[in-house]
Amino acid sequence: MTEQTDRILRLGARIRAACEAAGREISTVELLPISKRQPLERIREAAEHGFARFGENYVQEGAAKAQAAPHLAFVLTGPLQRNKAKTALQHFREVMTLDRPELATRLRSLAAELDVICPVWIQLDLWNEATKLGGCPEAGLDPLIQALGHDPRLPLQGFMVLPPPGDSQAFAAAALARARWQDRLGQPLRLSMGMSDDLEEAIQAGSDQVRIGTDFFGSRI
């Protein structure tokens, strides 16, 4: 058994136990490996364990990996600048960090130009962390969603959140925000939250996706 295989099995056991404690089916929680600064060899090994989707934080790095491994799906989990939006749409299967109306407008224009469909997530900031980590405050969701315009080329999947560490109420707050906007929009919204140190709390609160980097792949190169 390789070290990576052992890490994957241990993560699977943690997620299974967390789902059991929360009364949820394990199939309701996706483990998204974050592969930034990881070599393709490790990503391909993960693919042998059934993983086909990987999160990348940097547009150029993720685009290069997508070109080298076109049978795998890479999603953008890091900030997106407008001048890199075209590259992102060309190489990523999803953009998880939509956070401002002008970026939504730019993506809509490019999606039509490129004739592509790219599901998007809104990076939601409920904790005034936007200056450090990016994200859209809840008060800014209306103009952002209006800028998306229910465009079928950019279907809204849900919210990605990066709560401040140590805030015991953060996951519950994100889950309540998701519920509010599901009711308001009349559509289901997924919630991506929880990482290595707090995946159990995130799953208990209702996270649909946990994002794991080093505990999945090992130390970055």
CA distance 178 to 159: 7
State yes or no: pLDDT of 175 exceeds 70.
yes
For residues 28-32, average pLDDT: 98
Report field, pTM of the whole predicted structure over 0.85: yes
More confident of the two residues 134 and 28:
28
CB 51 within 8 A of CB 217: no
How high is the pLDDT of residue 134?
81
Check residue 132 and give its pLDDT. 60
Residue-level pLDDT at 54: 98
HEC per residue, 147-176: HHCCCCCCCEEEEEECCCCCCCCHHHHHHH
Q: How far is CA 93 from the centre of its chain?
A: 11
In the chain, the percentage of residues whose pLDDT exceeds 70 is 97
Can you list the alpha helix ranges (DSSP code H) found in the chain?
A: 3-22, 40-48, 59-68, 85-91, 101-114, 130-133, 141-148, 170-185, 199-205, 214-217
- Condensed to tens digits (0 to 9), the pLDDT of residues 105-150 reads 999 999 999 999 999 999 999 998 755 668 999 999 999 999 999 9
Q: How high is the pLDDT of residue 92?
A: 98
Maximum separation of any 2 CA atoms in the chain, in Å = 50
Q: Which two tokens stand for residue 187?
A: 């559509």
For residues 64-76, give the mean pLDDT. Answer: 98
Q: What share of the chain in percent tops pLDDT 90?
A: 91
The pLDDT mean for the chain works out to: 95
pLDDT, one tens digit per residue, over 161-172 is 998 888 879 999
Rounded to the nearest angstrom, the gap between the alpha carbon of residue 3 and the centroid of all alpha carbons in its chain is 25
The dotted CATH code for 3-217 is 3.20.20.10
